[in-house]
Structure 1
Amino acid sequence: MDTTQLLKGVLDLAVLAVLKDEDGYGYDILRRLRAAGLDEVGDASVYGTLRRLFQSGFLTTYVVPSEAGPHRKYYSLNAAGRDQLNRSAKVWREFASTMDTLLDDRGTAA
């Protein structure tokens, strides 16, 4: 199964989840997503998702100067973002539970 379409549907949730406990800059967030097993996530998709989540009011940003290279824009989950994460996680868990039921054949009559 091609996971690309699945990933498009859950990338917002995945990015919010990655930022739940620790702020991060674009490449750091991408690296954490890949380390978690989302190997197929693309750079442009993550950066676009960060912009969209920021514009939607779920993230705040701040810049950290760097002597070794360009300044880094860090993203942080704010209260609205935490609420969105909780809502989206609930929807995901209900959906995943339904899919588990279908796949385990518990949802069909004998």
Structure 2
Amino acid sequence: MASVELMRGALELAVLEVVSHETTYGFELLATLRSSGFPDVADPSVYGVLRRLEAGGKLTSELIASPSGAARRYYRLTDSGRTALEHATVEWDALVRAMAGIRIDRTKDEQR
């Protein structure tokens, strides 16, 4: 599986997680993602996720004037988004545990 496919699945969860901590705008979200381990995430990918999450009722947004330039669209998690984040986190944790189990089994096999 290509890393792009893995990133696509993880990016939605990462966006929900970041927005769950604070209301944020696109550029700030990008900076947070990049500094948190998604260094190659592209602007269009993040803005596409934001649009899909908003269209799906997981986020709301509000355009707010900026003191230093153009207005910014700030995103906030909805109740539906919080529920989606909780479910996705449970699924992600289960996937991580399953992968860790497979890797441990493979390591045991290689040591034999």
Please indicate, yes or no, whether the TM-score normalized by the shorter chain is above 0.5.
yes
Supply the distance in 2 between the matched residues of 1:29 and 1:63 (Cα, whole angstroms). Answer: 15
Supply the distance in 2 between the matched residues of 1:15 and 1:86 (Cα, whole angstroms). Answer: 13
Which residue type is aligned with residue 90 of structure 1? V
Aligned pairs, number: 109
**Identity of matched residues, %:** 39
Task: Tell me the TM-score normalized by structure 1.
Answer: 0.91
The alignment partner of 1:41 has SS state of coil
Which residue type is aligned with residue 91 of structure 1? E
The alignment partner of 1:19 has SS state of helix
Supply the distance in 1 between the matched residues of 2:67 and 2:59 (Cα, whole angstroms). Answer: 26
The alignment partner of 1:20 has SS state of helix
Matched residue, 1:31: 31
Matched residue, 2:43: 43
List alignment gaps of at least 5 residues for structure 1: none
The alignment partner of 2:5 has SS state of helix
Cα offset, 1:3, TM superposition: 2.8
The alignment partner of 1:57 has SS state of coil
| CA deviation string 1:34-66 (max 9, x = no partner) | 111111211100000000000000001112112
Which residue type is aligned with residue 28 of structure 1? E
The alignment partner of 2:67 has SS state of coil
The alignment status of 1:19 with 2:22, answered yes or no, reads: no
Matched residue, 2:10: 10
Task: Tell me the TM-score normalized by structure 2.
Answer: 0.90
Higher helix proportion (structure 1 or 2): 2
Matched residue, 2:59: 59
Matched residue, 1:68: 68
Cα offset, 1:2, TM superposition: 5.2
Structure 1 contact 4–40 (Cα < 8 Å) conserved: no
Cα offset, 1:105, TM superposition: 1.1
List alignment gaps of at least 5 residues for structure 2: none
